[in-house]
Amino acid sequence: VAGLVELRPRLENLVVSNSAEDLRHIFSPCGSEAEEGSTDQVPREWQKLETVRCIHNSFTRMDSSLTLLTCVKSLDMAGNSFKTMENLHNCVNLMSLDLSYNRISSTDRLNERCGNLTQLRLKCNSLTSTEGIDKLYSLEVLDLSGNLISKFSEVSRLGSLPYLESLWLAENPISYASGYRTKVLSFFPSDDIVLDNQRTTPKELQLIEKQKKIQVEELLLAPKDAPKAEEKKVSGRRKPSRIVKVVDQDRGPDQPRGEKPSWMWRSPERTGSDSARPREDSGTGRPGPNSPPRWSQDQLSMLHYKPGAANRDVPR
């Protein structure tokens, strides 16, 4: 853009719309002049430029020429094709930033570059997270409508912004969820938050208080030492069963699996006339078909049977 070099020392407001392809053609024209033989080869800062509006151009990158805007307070670059937010670290006086209708997908570490922002508008981008925004503690106005935010946990982060007054989340996936307004407003300690340009109604305030109580109860009841998902994973190798080990201990060395151990066929020792053992089938050690029934120790105890008592018949 010709003629801006002479205006740099005193220009305070600049509007460029539907006319430029690169930011460097606007903010660092001295760079192109240097190629033509100018002695001024170092781009100089815009010492008084405070308001910049470069909307609906063909910008695809926030190039290094933005580092020359050290005094800018309001920067509006909506309606371009930016995919990332960069080169804003020198804009230390920036308080209002509008990057609506771009292709931005991340705001990570935005707080490290624009920590003094009071107004941030990122309408109709491709954001799925609020990371970086949740630490812009001076924010008063935040527009995230028309993005791809689908988790309420991303909104809950914004509850840490102490001065937030107006919030837009319409046309995000979460805005179509049941109880959307109640859930969102319950994340903020103040009842004066204006959500999607609508003030909170008295009925909503009652529902918000109930929602806050539910959230507190969930925090109190949540297990402190709950195992993580990674810790729940079990290796593919099958662990030996403890029950099998117990049965194996009772099974004789020559007894096939599935046969009852020998102690299950034993009868209590008897004295006197009943001391004779019942007939058994040869080779098996089990009672024969004509053998009298045998009583277990528990059954004998229930009948007050006293082992060792002479000449006492076992009840049959």
Evaluate whether residue 288 is within a structural domain: no
Q: Give the separation between CA 244 and CA 265, rounded to whole angstroms.
A: 21
Residue type, 193: I
pTM: 0.66
Evaluate whether residue 295 is within a structural domain: no
Contacts of residue 74, defined as CB under 8 A and 6 or more positions apart, other chains included, come to: 50, 51, 52, 53, 94, 95, 96
Secondary structure E strands in 105-256 = 119-121, 141-143, 166-168, 194-195
Which pLDDT tens digit goes with each residue over 49-100?
Answer: 999 999 999 899 999 999 999 999 999 999 999 999 999 999 999 999 999 9
Which pLDDT tens digit goes with each residue over 200-224?
Answer: 998 988 888 888 887 777 767 766 6
Evaluate whether residue 11 is within a structural domain: yes
Work out how many domains the chain is built from and give that number. 1
CA-to-CA separations, 291 to 226, 279, 284, 299, 314, in angstroms, rounded: 59, 6, 14, 18, 14
Which residue range(s) make up the domain with 101?
4-220
CATH number at residue 110: 3.80.10.10
Q: Give the separation between CA 157 and CA 160, rounded to whole angstroms.
A: 6
Evaluate whether residue 58 is within a structural domain: yes
Evaluate whether residue 289 is within a structural domain: no
Q: Which residues pair with 5 in a beta bridge?
A: none
**pLDDT for residue 73:** 97
Contacts of residue 269, defined as CB under 8 A and 6 or more positions apart, other chains included, come to: 275, 307
Evaluate whether residue 28 is within a structural domain: yes
Evaluate whether residue 9 is within a structural domain: yes
Q: 278 and 292 in contact (C-beta within 8 Å)?
A: yes
Evaluate whether residue 302 is within a structural domain: no
**Residue 267 exposed, middle or buried by CB count within 10 Å (0-12, 13-18, 19+):** middle
Q: Give the separation between CA 168 and CA 160, rounded to whole angstroms.
A: 16
